[in-house]
Chains A and B, each alone.
Chain A
């Protein structure tokens, strides 16, 4: 858990600043990539300081300005930062009222504005970037244009980790617009005046590569829960059931391929990047350039939504190397094919479950084996694996005696952070299997789940989602309703999907109803939007997506071969009810919407057709 919860005492000046024109600047190490945290943080700070929200400017991730932060992932931004920003803003208001400078440690007993007096928090609010987005003024990473900027392109090896044996750049150097051909170790790239010139020159460079077999991550077997006498309990159950579920590797597939702009000088560097880990990137770039960390400034820019992909830095490091050698700012824009071929992905998963029910139809024993690969860029780390590759492998139900084992296995595919990490895989298996158990024992699926739920917040979201979807109705020929839910990092969610299975076997999602309890809610419409988006994206993973690869090389590298859901595939309705328990601290909503929908769709297909979906 290191680094996620623990922090040095918070100093107010690291969080709140007042500009000469009266603008309140709020500082956070988190970054915005569509989840709406800039807006949520501004609401919070405006309330606590008693100013109009227009006066608040939120600075995110600029390593020269914001306090150190581990990174933006795990739906942690609001949970982690909201209390800190709120307290800092409250203290700043006190200091201003006293005519004092904004500095010092935020006292533990700082007086917070009562919830009832908050003007912005809890109200729906369009995102602050909205006007810039609809007018095209919003600048994303690739839109940064420092003076004298050139463009870069990289020569890609046939497989990861291949060594450059020889490089022939004679032709490339003579091509129009070429500024520099760069080789640093096994990195080979080109800088040119125009992007298409850099690309053409990179294509003209002949590199002989030495490849070696790759296997990422190594192997790890980790016991996540191991009660006594599980096998005996399994053997003597009244109803016994076993099943296995398979999910293919899939891509984060951002609409905007990776990009970065680097401006490297002899003694300092500025990196414009869409990173989720500004401080991690600063460290990485400093090392590659041989600079002191303090001489490197990472200025996060809005990337296209990347959902975990930008926990790994690629383009920013490439741009830094190219800029260093070219002596000019360099913009690196990956192609669509590069993004599919070289970005990290969600690994495959194979999930085996066995369970036994007692004579009352209650789960008496549970055995779960999760086989997958590493889910983070850093490789296998036994102290993290249960939280990453094993995320949500322990069911949110009362399951009797249980043994849950995580098997992390090597893969030639590059895998790393993905929206919700392994939670969507595990919840697909667990919620599909709960449905199978209910049907095998002649129990109604909702009632069967509720019979194994102790937590009232979990019960409430299941009941509300059922009510919203009019659970129990007969939706018509070839149609079915399916239910699934989860608790993800403190957020409770249940989702019902209605599907229609066409005679061809094609599955269409007609509607989705979701009830979510993320504790105290800062921006209810922002929450709804995130949950809807998670549902839509995850429905696409479920119905359309599979990354094919051999020996680590990705075979489908375009939207034609890696189709995702389009406007035509979108459900007619996605209804989200935010029933946050206001007495509980806020928890995240960026990922939970995506976690349960595969199970809901699979269960709906079974309801419609009697065919169980065990492979996505």
Chain B
């Protein structure tokens, strides 16, 4: 099946079997491995990307459904070497350990801050609740989002 994906501002032609997920196409066809595989059934949040600005599980979306939409992955957030305030805040607070869940968290937090630049603590927790972290950096990640929201003000 041939399709054209818009990813991080560029168009990519892909030729994949029917029902191929956006996650697989990103990782295995476009080499954008910053979007992580975690469960394949939308329960862990590791594979989140922005689709037309909305944070979604790329393992639950087919290439078909994503064609025509503007997809942004973790690789597409920074402008060259200039990181977003969220990325900077995650570094500054060391809101990571193994970092496997970090891509997804930053994606959802990006969508949150775009919709609500001054989120409450509960709003942050709700927005990030889809993202499981086993290393246990939840409290730091909440702090990172607060810090980024402060910096963006």
Contact = CB atoms under 8 A, between A and B. Distances in A.
A288 interface: no
Given A126-B92, A126-B94, A532 B136 contact: yes
Interface in B113-138: 121, 124-126, 128-129, 131-138
B41 A533 contact: no
A53 interface: no
Given A134-B102, A134-B106, A560 B91 contact: no
B87 interface: yes
A127 B90 CA distance: 11
B106 to A, nearest CB: 6
Interface string A525-542: 110011011111100100
A556 interface: no
Contact of B77 (A33, A135, A304): A135
B91 A134 contact: yes
A559 B39 contact: yes
Of B24, B35, B126, B133, most buried by chain A (CB within 10 Å of CB) is: B133
A566 interface: yes
Contacts of A253: 134
A388 B79 CA distance: 49
Given A127-B94, A127-B96, A533-B136, A558 B43 contact: yes
B78 interface: yes
B100 A136 contact: no
Interface in A111-159: 126-127, 129-131, 133-140, 142-143, 145, 151
B142 interface: yes
A585 interface: no
Interface stretch (A21-29, A99-107, A202-210, A569-577): A569-577
Interface size, A (range)? 35 or more
Contacts of B129: 566-568
Q: For the side of the interface on B, what is the size category? A: 35 or more
Interface in A288-338: 302-305, 307, 333, 335-336
B98 A135 contact: no
A303 B98 contact: yes
Contacts, number: 178
Contacts of B39: 257, 336, 558-559
B53 interface: no
Contact of B75 (A133, A136, A532): A136
A587 interface: no
Interface string B73-85: 1110110000100
B125 A126 contact: no
A565 B125 CA distance: 12
B149 interface: no
A567 B138 contact: yes
Interface of B: 17, 20, 24, 27-28, 31-41, 43-44, 46, 73-75, 77-78, 83, 87, 90-92, 94, 96-103, 106, 121, 124-126, 128-129, 131-142
A336 B87 contact: no
A567 B125 contact: yes
A241 interface: no
Task: Classify the secondary structure of A's interface with B.
Answer: loop
B129 to A, nearest CB: 5
A480 interface: no
B132 A536 contact: no
A361 interface: no
A133 B102 contact: yes
Contacts of A131: 83, 91
A395 interface: no
29 contacts: A33-B98, A34-B98, A36-B97, A126-B91, A127-B94, A131-B83, A134-B74, A136-B34, A140-B33, A140-B36, A140-B100, A142-B37, A196-B17, A197-B17, A255-B133, A256-B36, A256-B38, A304-B98, A305-B97, A333-B37, A336-B39, A526-B94, A536-B136, A537-B134, A540-B136, A558-B43, A567-B142, A568-B126, A573-B139
Contact of A570 (B24, B37, B142): B142
Contacts of B37: 142, 256-257, 333
A568 B123 CA distance: 10
A133 B96 contact: yes
Given A305-B135, A568-B129, A570-B125, A195 B78 contact: no
Question: Chain B: interface secondary structure?
Answer: loop
A201 B36 CA distance: 23
A194 interface: yes
A510 interface: no
Contact of B90 (A130, A137, A142): A130
A559 B44 contact: yes
Contacts of A564: 132, 134
B142 A129 contact: no
A176 interface: yes
B132 A560 contact: no
A145 B98 contact: no
A254 interface: yes
B8 to A, nearest CB: 10
A197 B16 CA distance: 11
A537 B135 contact: yes
A35 interface: yes
A382 to B, nearest CB: 33
Nearest to A197: B17
Nearest to A559: B43
A535 B137 CA distance: 10
Contacts of A530: 97
Contacts of A567: 124-126, 128-129, 131, 138, 141-142
Contacts of A135: 34, 74-75, 77-78, 83, 87
A196 B35 contact: no
Given A304-B134, A529-B137, A567-B129, 4 more contacts: A136-B35, A257-B38, A533-B136, A570-B125
Contact of B140 (A139, A145, A305, A529): A529
A336 B38 contact: yes
A303 B33 CA distance: 13
Contacts of B33: 136, 139-140, 142-143, 145
Contacts of B125: 567-568, 570
B34 A336 contact: no
Given A133-B99, A567-B138, A529 B94 contact: yes
A255 B38 contact: yes
Contacts of A136: 32-35, 73-75, 103
